[in-house]
Chain A
Amino acid sequence: MSSSGGATAACGAPTTTDRVRSAAESLSQILDLPLSSKTDPAIFLLLDPAVSATVSRRLLLRSSGAGDDHLCRWLYDTFQSTVPSLQLVVIRFFPAIAASYLARALSRQPLAGFEAVLLALYAHETVARQGKPLTINLPNLANASPYHETTKSAVKNKSAAIDTADAVPETEIAVLSPVLEPHGTIRSTKRSRIVGVGFELYYKHIANIPVSSKLEFIEHCIAWVGNCGKTSLKGKKGEWRIPLPWELLQPIIRIVGHCLLGPGEDNKLKQMAADAAFLLYQRAMQDMDSRAVLATRCLVHFVAALESPKAPVSPAETVADVMASSAVEAFESLPTALADVDIIVESTSDDF
């Protein structure tokens, strides 16, 4: 992971390997965790359970996030290093940063340290997208596509090409994430959007993010969604729930969707994601936001389908399951399975 960029680095400039090592060393100092010379610094940063647990704990402390917080400074510097593997480490801690920030921003504590990191992530994404919205062209089935059934549409295309040449309907554009304006500070009304873009960045890298970080995310997600759960804990007045406008909720739903239905076999994650999905649905109902209700209700239905294997075809059912059941059937009807060969032979040999 770390050596790839090192070879191309210019002479004299620190190589990627050096940077990763120095980042790991400074983090081990900040955390007061030993970094033995044998450990791969990249693994130390991204995967070491002790490191990630300590960092997350530190981020969630009441005293964290101020302007002079060393950990925040480290996160900021590490992200600005522009080394992808180091940036991934910062993104890996984003759930903890967001959780701590969202909860405490309500009480207007000075959180300059967190805000610097958040703005760095936001600026990174703004540059990557050139401020443009993420859009998708909605397919129109009247237009041919690679996945249309080829034989028929090809024939039809040829014959109909003349009369419908100019009648091809235009595709519509939908927005997955709106325009990104540059922001130098976090204005309170932009807080949700900036944190939301952080989650969009998290989602972009989610395939490379370790499960432990996703688990943390789900834990925090359950806390944000509030007290509307099965065990309805009546909150006290003055302890406000965190507002979840669509710009923040949408990326959260996408991450939960990934944890629930994405590739990967981690059962604990799936179980927790299922709980989060249920709570998100409850929250969407409380806010009565139609989009959120529709989207989270789907997640809840997926959970139900996953839990009851007798559902028609569950969404995440793998071929392996189907295979397993057909193998059992085959086993039970063993003589006929073997006799298949004969049947084929008999029917064909009649031709002679």
Chain B
Amino acid sequence: MGVDDGEVEEDVEMPMSVRELSANGRSVDASEIEAKLDLGNIEEAESSLREGLALNFEEARALLGRLEYHRGNIEAALRVFHGVDLEAAIQRLQTLPSEKPSSRKGRSRGESFNVNSQPGANLVLEAIYLKAVSMQKLGKANDAARECKVLLDAVEKMFQNVSSEVTVDAKLRETITKAVELLPEMWKQAGNHEEAANSYRHALLNQWNLDDESCARIQKRFAVFLLYSGLEVGPLNLTTQTDGMFIPKNNAEEAILLLMILLRKWNLGKIPWDPSIMEHLTYALCMCDQTSLLAKLFEELNPGTYHRCDRWNTLALCYSGAGDDTTALNLLRKSLNKHEKPDDLVALLLAAKICSKDFLFASEGVEYARRAVANAQGENGHLRSVALCFQGICLGKQGKCASSDLERSRLQAEALKSLEKAIADDPRNPDLIYDLGIEYAEQHNMNAALSCAKEFIDATGGSIPKGWRLLALILSAQQRYREAEVVTDAALDETAKLEQGQLLRIKAKVKVAQSSHMDAIETYRILLALIQAQRKSAGSSRFCYQIEDNKSSEFEVWQGLANLYSKLSHWKDAKVCLEKARELKPYSASPLHIQGSMHEALHQTKLAMASYSNALQIDDSHAPCKVAIGALLWKSGSKSLAAARSLLSDALRLEPTNRMAWYFLAVIHKDDGRLNDAADCFQAASMLEDSEPVESFSTAS
């Protein structure tokens, strides 16, 4: 160690001599040395540095290398660095902290290390760092990574025995930080992904005393690496962990965790805004279908991070992705306001799409779709067909609840025109054919609807379940039950067991329509077994929406069975089924409606009336109950015909295609002597009967 001591003394002398030199003017010196270097006299340059600045061999070389590097002579710099055993220099440095106090005779305590040895240490460490960078620039990423690793290992050893309070000088810290950042990038470039991941983790989990920004940079790069490298680099291994600590178990978890931490850092003002953090998080969360969490993160962002309209629109996308269309639409209404960004195409399309799902928003949707059509120009021309399609659907929905026949036929014609234009614009998109088919079906043009449904199945190779369902329903509406059954059976063949629910329901209803009741009951039995199986598989995955889905399909089965048994006058069985249905949805009107019809069949008029009115109290827009009460009133005599008529008209307002409402209205008109009106209503009823599917077309989608 004696030799080392000598070296240390030399180091300590260095500042004095340097200061003297600097008084003589450094710039002259530098150019002198440069001149020597240019002549290729590395030794001479080095020795003049050593003499002039009283540096040791390694330090002089380090300085020379740096000079070359900064002059852009990468290869020359590498030559200089190659001639020196930097590792040996490091090993000497590593002994510094422990040696120091004794050699400084207790004068300096821990900070003597800080004060005196750091410039020398920094020179050597920086030299290694520059060597690594030079190697990287020459395409030797692997060697660069190895150099970097040597550097960091050395630093770790150096600081092993030093208490964390020691202040490290800025220059040294900068070198260390740069090296910490460089190492994983070098491994990555060298194609050694395992080492890259390890060094990222090492950088983040060890106490490098990095500043917030460089730590954030490393975190982001690591998150990107984890998200897109496609590697599963193995989970974190931690020696110590506390209870309740979140330990990421795979790459995606780790990436999302890092990005969320980065986002929090931004929210706390620790790092500058970097939009890509949010983008990567968006990507990661969309891939696992977590737009609801994404919405929460967007909500939590500091105001001013995004323009408010962009934020609203993105939030709307998140919410609609999570199935919350109401919230999404409310947000879109704000951003599409005429004082904000009324012509944003994405927002317009999304708003039109959400509106196209509901009668209540149909006219609003038409407006959005019109604006979307008008804005789908030039670069966005390919979106015109989508806009036209939403416009068509919304117009169709609007037409269904139009107040006059004239209005209705106008809207329906426009709806068809829009959809056809959409198809002309984008003739390769089968979804448009499907939507046209639904519209035809809703307008009772079953032949046209049928050919659309067939075309859709052909175009998608039968791979989209809703196509099969639509075809079966259209055939049932044409009363071609036998064919509808063949289609459902074919569709069942093409569908995996657990996804056959809706098809089985259609099949059971087709069987009922054909009066093959035993077959229908058997189909319902299979369906119930399927629902049980679904519940089992959903139970393990704990997703509440699946459980909800499951519940409502079971409810419908019991209800269908109750209907079927009451048709067969198996009152006891019907009651059991009704009970089951009501257990699942105690506040639903339709089981009460079935109960009422059972009472009616048993000629218990008062009880029937009571059930119907109870049902209406639960849900005052339940059209079948209104029709049933209207019919009962008509049956009870001429005194309440006016009340009956108003109930039936009310039902028709809610459900313009309710065949029974038209029928009883016709009967009442006839009793009142208004034969013309009666004839019209009879005609409507009969037309509807000829084109009534076993269940509503909207259930197909």
Interface residues of A (CB under 8 A from B): 105-108, 133, 136-141, 143-148, 150, 157, 165, 168, 171-176, 179, 181, 183, 187-192, 203-204, 206-207, 226-230, 232, 234-237, 239-241, 243, 245, 250, 253-254, 257-258, 260-263, 265, 282, 285-295, 298-299, 301-302, 305, 312-316, 318-320, 323-324, 327, 330-331, 334-335, 337-342, 344-346, 348-349, 351
B306 in the interface (beta carbon within 8 A) = no
- Contact B15–A235 (Cβ < 8 Å): no
* Chain B residues positioned under 8 Å from A190 (CB to CB): 495-496
A335 with B19: in contact, given A207-B231, A293-B346 (CB under 8 Å)?
no
- Contact A294–B230 (Cβ < 8 Å): no
Task: With A237-B427, A237-B428, A240-B428 given, name 7 new contacts (CB 8 A).
Answer: A168-B244, A189-B496, A241-B430, A261-B227, A298-B279, A327-B70, A340-B171
A106 with B459: in contact, given A146-B247, A241-B428, A294-B294 (CB under 8 Å)?
yes
Binary A-proximity of B204-234 (CB < 8 A = 1, otherwise 0): 1101000000000101100011011111100
CA distance A171 to B379 in the complex (A): 43
CA distance A111 to B537 in the complex (A): 32
* Chain A residues positioned under 8 Å from B225 (CB to CB): 263
- Contact A133–B541 (Cβ < 8 Å): yes
B256 in the interface (beta carbon within 8 A) = yes
The smallest C-beta distance from A272 to any residue of chain B, in angstroms, reads: 16
B136 in the interface (beta carbon within 8 A) = yes
A138 with B464: in contact, given A189-B494, A235-B427, A241-B429 (CB under 8 Å)?
no
- Contact B230–A207 (Cβ < 8 Å): yes
Measured CB to CB, the nearest residue on chain A to B144 is: A320
- Contact B499–A189 (Cβ < 8 Å): yes
Say whether chain B's binding surface is mostly helix, strand, loop, or mixed.
Answer: helix
* Chain A residues positioned under 8 Å from B249 (CB to CB): 136-137
* Chain B residues positioned under 8 Å from A265 (CB to CB): 189
Stretch at the interface among B269-277, B594-602, B609-617, B654-662: B269-277
CA distance A260 to B385 in the complex (A): 30
B101 in the interface (beta carbon within 8 A) = no
Measured CB to CB, the nearest residue on chain A to B123 is: A341
- Contact A286–B429 (Cβ < 8 Å): yes
CA distance A105 to B460 in the complex (A): 9
Interface residues of B (CB under 8 A from A): 14-16, 18-19, 22, 26-27, 30, 63, 66-67, 69-72, 115-116, 118-119, 123, 133, 136-137, 169, 171, 178, 181-182, 185, 188-189, 191, 193, 196, 204-205, 207, 217, 219-220, 224-225, 227-232, 236, 238, 241-242, 244-250, 252-253, 256-258, 260-261, 264, 272-276, 279-280, 282-283, 285-291, 293-294, 314, 317-318, 320-321, 346, 349-350, 353, 379, 381-383, 385-386, 426-431, 459-465, 468, 493-499, 537, 541-542
CA distance A139 to B171 in the complex (A): 37
- Contact B273–A312 (Cβ < 8 Å): yes
- Contact B463–A312 (Cβ < 8 Å): no
A sample of 10 inter-chain contacts (CB < 8 A) reads A139-B246, A188-B494, A191-B461, A240-B428, A240-B430, A262-B228, A263-B196, A290-B318, A294-B294, A345-B14
A288 with B136: in contact, given A237-B427, A240-B428, A349-B19 (CB under 8 Å)?
no
- Contact B26–A191 (Cβ < 8 Å): no
A258 with B230: in contact, given A172-B293, A294-B321 (CB under 8 Å)?
yes
The smallest C-beta distance from B661 to any residue of chain A, in angstroms, reads: 35
The smallest C-beta distance from B389 to any residue of chain A, in angstroms, reads: 10
- Contact B386–A263 (Cβ < 8 Å): no
* Chain A residues positioned under 8 Å from B19 (CB to CB): 342, 345-346, 349
- Contact A143–B274 (Cβ < 8 Å): no
- Contact A302–B30 (Cβ < 8 Å): no
CA distance A328 to B159 in the complex (A): 31
Measured CB to CB, the nearest residue on chain A to B264 is: A141
CA distance A299 to B280 in the complex (A): 9
- Contact A143–B244 (Cβ < 8 Å): yes
- Contact A302–B461 (Cβ < 8 Å): no
The smallest C-beta distance from A342 to any residue of chain B, in angstroms, reads: 4
* Chain A residues positioned under 8 Å from B465 (CB to CB): 189
- Contact A263–B191 (Cβ < 8 Å): yes
Measured CB to CB, the nearest residue on chain B to A318 is: B185
Closest 5 CB pairs of A and B: A290-B321, A206-B230, A295-B286, A174-B288, A235-B428
* Chain A residues positioned under 8 Å from B495 (CB to CB): 187, 189-190
* Chain B residues positioned under 8 Å from A327 (CB to CB): 69-70, 72, 133
* Chain B residues positioned under 8 Å from A316 (CB to CB): 224
- Contact A146–B115 (Cβ < 8 Å): no
- Contact B496–A183 (Cβ < 8 Å): yes
